[in-house]
Structure 1
């Protein structure tokens, strides 16, 4: 495999753009005074994006996955991440074993 100048330029360009998008939000928000409502709205964005990614997969793949996603969501209300992962995987395996 060889790297030519165009490939290296593309890699460094994508890295720079990725870095700028990562620091852009905090830099902009450090200069803006948000109301409580605005802060609450921004805090709701990560869970909303996560649900937008997870929900279609959980609801479209089958009953075992949907059930495991529901049990994992309930476990996430009280338990740490590693426990939720273990519960989700265990529930999925159990449901698949029961329904064949």
Structure 2
């Protein structure tokens, strides 16, 4: 396997962009007045991103994945993000084992 310099540069550039956006968000949030409306909007971002990631799989595959997506969505409203992901993975595993 050879190392392509363009691939390496692309990975490094994406790394820098990711780190920059995360650090700048943390640095800039202290200058924003956090009222209840803004706090609610910011807390809705992680479940929305999770649904954006798993929804295409749910609609492109079978019933087990669609039902697991629904279970994950319900869990994301009540549980921490990692627990919601565990619920989704466990649900799809059980449904696939059941033959759905």
Q: Normalising by structure 1, what TM-score?
A: 0.66
Deviations along 1:47-71, one digit per CA (max 9) or x if unpaired, are 1121122123213312232233334
Structure 1 or 2, whichever has the larger Rg, is 1
Determine if contact 1:72/1:88 at 8 Å carries over to the other structure: no
The residue correspondences of 1:60-71 to structure 2 (distance < 5 A) are 60-71=60-71
Partner of 1:88: 92
Determine if contact 1:59/1:66 at 8 Å carries over to the other structure: yes
Partner of 1:47: 47
Instruction: Give the whole-Å Cα distance in 1 for the aligned partners of 2:67 and 2:43.
Output: 27
RMSD: 3.2
Higher deviation after alignment, 25-34 or 7-16: 7-16
Partner of 1:20: 20
Determine if contact 1:68/1:92 at 8 Å carries over to the other structure: no
2:44 match: secondary structure: helix
Task: Flag the 1:12–1:57 CA change in 2: closer, same or farther, 3 A.
Answer: closer
Higher deviation after alignment, 32-41 or 47-56: 47-56
Question: Which structure 2 residue ranges, 5 or more long, are not aligned?
Answer: none
Task: Flag the 1:69–1:93 CA change in 2: closer, same or farther, 3 A.
Answer: farther
Does residue 29 in structure 1 map to residue 33 in structure 2?
A: no
